[in-house]
Amino acid sequence: MKAIVMREHGGPEVLKYMDAADPVARAGEIVVRVRACALNHLDLWVRRGLPGLAFPMPHIPGSDIAGEIASVGEGVKSVKPGQKVLLAPGVTCGKCLACLSGNDNKCREFTNLGYMIDGGCAEFVRCPEVNCLPYPENLSFEQAAAVPLVFQTAWHMLVARAQLQPGEQVLVLGAGSGVGSAAIQIAKFFGARVIATAGTDEKLARAKELGADEVINHHTQKIAAEVRRLTAKRGVDVVFEHVGTATWEDSFNSLAVGGRLVTCGSTTGFDAKVDLRFLFAKQLSLLGSYMGTKTELHTVLKLVAQGRLKPVVDKVMPLAECSAAHAYLEAGKQFGKVVLSV
């Protein structure tokens, strides 16, 4: 098969379009003919390398995958060759207490397709049968691939961790990102008032189209000051944070008394600081969130199939141009998802 293969960490140039061995389904596994694979910031981190983590090389990246079942391994009964399928990105042991209780994102062996195991930037990918999800027939392969990781992450952050309530006010950082565009829609689905940030007027206009009630240009406006103005000095109930140190102080200072800050990432840096006086005096909550459960992803897909949540695709590029797609995503030019067509 043709695949994007990296043999070392570095810039986009380490991603090579080349021949690779076809995967073979083992017992309980399936092989999918990939039709589309969406990129995430996770792909950038994998390509660059992470301190303390040794990625297996050569490595095929890509976590968000839509396609058709090519073959099935022994014991597979829920899907059959030729069936269209969307894959859950998270791969777990399936046997520990976390997995058995439905909290599979807390499995100690949790990984993602394209993270510590080969992913979907290829013509074929192998994964466990349990990762097969119902295909939303109202979407193209490219649209379907834009759903799993960001909508699952945003749902877990807002619903499971921050316990968002109808009528609350939410600040969504980075509206142009895949997870930011998903968060706006989910918050509006729950009847929240959404304030969204982005770095260009064009992205702010797109955020409004998705349902954002108010927008803030983080290049020309001070986020915390604008939040105070837009909320009559009260602050927001929930801050949806994934940017990191560049926005951390503003995010923290934007919270109302009893507010919750939930974070899933540190794109601009991880060494954030907290003034403990405000943390306890304002009775704030700082919540970490990682991916989401397969059950949550099934819920999201029902809403996607009903057209109540919609994937946002910025650009579709051929698999062979993966390195250019990485450079585009790294430059932060996109609004929504960059998808590779296979």
Q: What is the pLDDT of residue 13?
A: 97
H helix and E strand count, the chain: 11, 17
Helix axes of 322-330 and 41-48: crossing angle, nearest 10 degrees? 110
Within 10 Å of residue 317's Cβ, how many Cβ atoms? Answer: 15
Q: How many Å is the Cα radius of gyration of the chain?
A: 20
CA 95 to chain centre: 25
260 in helix, strand or coil? strand
Phi (first) and psi of residue 305, to 5 degrees: -65, -30
* pTM, full prediction: 0.96
DSSP state string for 69-128: EEEE-TT--S--TT-EEEE-SEE--S-SHHHHTT-GGG-TT-EEBTTTB--SSBSEEEEE
Q: What is the pLDDT of residue 233?
A: 97
Counted residue by residue, the chain has a size of 342
pLDDT per residue as tens digits for the range 200-239: 999 999 999 999 999 999 999 999 999 999 999 999 999 9
| Residue ranges of domains in the chain, CATH in brackets | 2-147+311-341 (3.90.180.10), 151-288 (3.90.180.10)
pLDDT per residue as tens digits for the range 158-193: 999 999 999 999 999 999 999 999 999 999 999 999
Q: What percent of the chain has pLDDT over 70?
A: 100
